[in-house]
Amino acid sequence: MNTKYETLALERVDNDVLLIRLNRPQAANAMNTRMGEELMDLFEGFQLDAHGLRALVMTGTGEKAFCAGGDLKERNGMTDEQWLRQHAMFERMLRAIVACPLPLIGAINGAAYGGGCELTAALDFAYASENARFALTEVTLGIMPGAGGTQNLPRAVGERRAKEVILTGLPFTAQEAYDWGLINRVLPQNELLDATLATARRIAGNAPISVRQAKQSIHRGLQMSLADGLAFEIECYNRMVSTEDRHEGVRAFNEKRKPEFRGI
């Protein structure tokens, strides 16, 4: 795994958890071409090798912004061809994040506008600081959400609320994001990262094959009919019956001790 990026700061926590910081604080962590390429590289890599990781946490550097969206200063003056080429890369990045086999939790530490809000909606779930603000402002710029916003936001908050948010372009608070279902918890800024990492550590302590299979079953099953989803769930379930972790979990329960899961 590449650990030296220009726009991302990576920190391995307790060996099992990786903290990913969007690291352009001078630009409110806005997403430029380089950040998109580096996120794409990082998350496509996880589909090939998890590097012993069991959970991921994503946040932004600083206390003001998670991600202010696409870097409009960089985009100023782009030709249509250049714009489309960059956006094709952003689309590939988004698909890699959504397809990540590892649990991916957000610690939304400030403004999450445009692509930052779309990124939030693409995570498995997220906590936010009390000062966090969200918006999908694309229609005020002559475009529309194009990094999953029109798909992931309705799945999180419902069709009618998503239409209101996207068609008005108006910002909303962390509390509203929580009330609507986009955010799982709202916390003081000084507690946000510790609480998110605590959840990541809790997940990392569970059987890694079980966690991955359950994540996949939920995500893919929601795109199927109930009958097909139930059949897919059993396929995911059966993958674990012959694992060492399944045997270890049952042994540990009966021996009244903490299981030692190895992901095999």
- Residue-level pLDDT at 225: 96
- Residue-level pLDDT at 46: 96
- What CATH number should be reported for the domain whose range is 8-204? 3.90.226.10
Q: State the fold for domain 208-254.
A: Lyase 2-enoyl-coa Hydratase; Chain  A, domain 2 (1.10.12)
pLDDT at 90 over 80: yes
pLDDT (tens digit per residue) in 226-245: 999 999 999 999 999 999 99
- Point out the residues that are catalytic: 118, 138
The dihedral region occupied by 69, where left means phi > 0, alpha psi between -120 and 50, and beta the remainder, is left
Assigned token pair, 139: 């229609």
Residues of the chain with CATH 1.10.12.10: 208-254
Q: Which range has the worst mean pLDDT, 2-6, 77-81, 127-131, 164-168? A: 2-6
Q: Give the mean model confidence (pLDDT) for residues 145-156.
A: 95
Please give the mean pLDDT across all residues of the chain.
95
Q: Which of 192, 240, 203 is nearest to 53 (CA)?
A: 203
CA distances from 171 to 136, 176, 177 (A): 7, 10, 10
pLDDT at 1 over 90: no
Assign 158 a pLDDT band (cuts: 50, 70, 90). Answer: very high
pLDDT (tens digit per residue) in 27-43: 999 999 999 999 999 99
- Residue-level pLDDT at 94: 96
Assign 4 a pLDDT band (cuts: 50, 70, 90). Answer: confident
Assigned token pair, 233: 């769930």
pLDDT at 205 over 80: yes
Q: Give the mean model confidence (pLDDT) for residues 86-111.
A: 96
Residues of the chain with CATH 3.90.226.10: 8-204
Residue showing tokens 């445009």: 114
Assign 2 a pLDDT band (cuts: 50, 70, 90). Answer: confident
Assigned token pair, 241: 């019956």
pLDDT at 187 over 90: yes
Assigned token pair, 94: 């988004």
- Residue-level pLDDT at 13: 93
C-alpha–C-alpha distance, residues 147 and 221, integer Å = 22
Q: Give the mean model confidence (pLDDT) for residues 177-183.
A: 98
C-alpha–C-alpha distance, residues 137 and 115, integer Å = 9
Assigned token pair, 231: 């059949």
User: How many angstroms from the chain centroid is the CA of residue 226?
Assistant: 25
pLDDT (tens digit per residue) in 45-66: 999 999 999 999 999 999 999 9
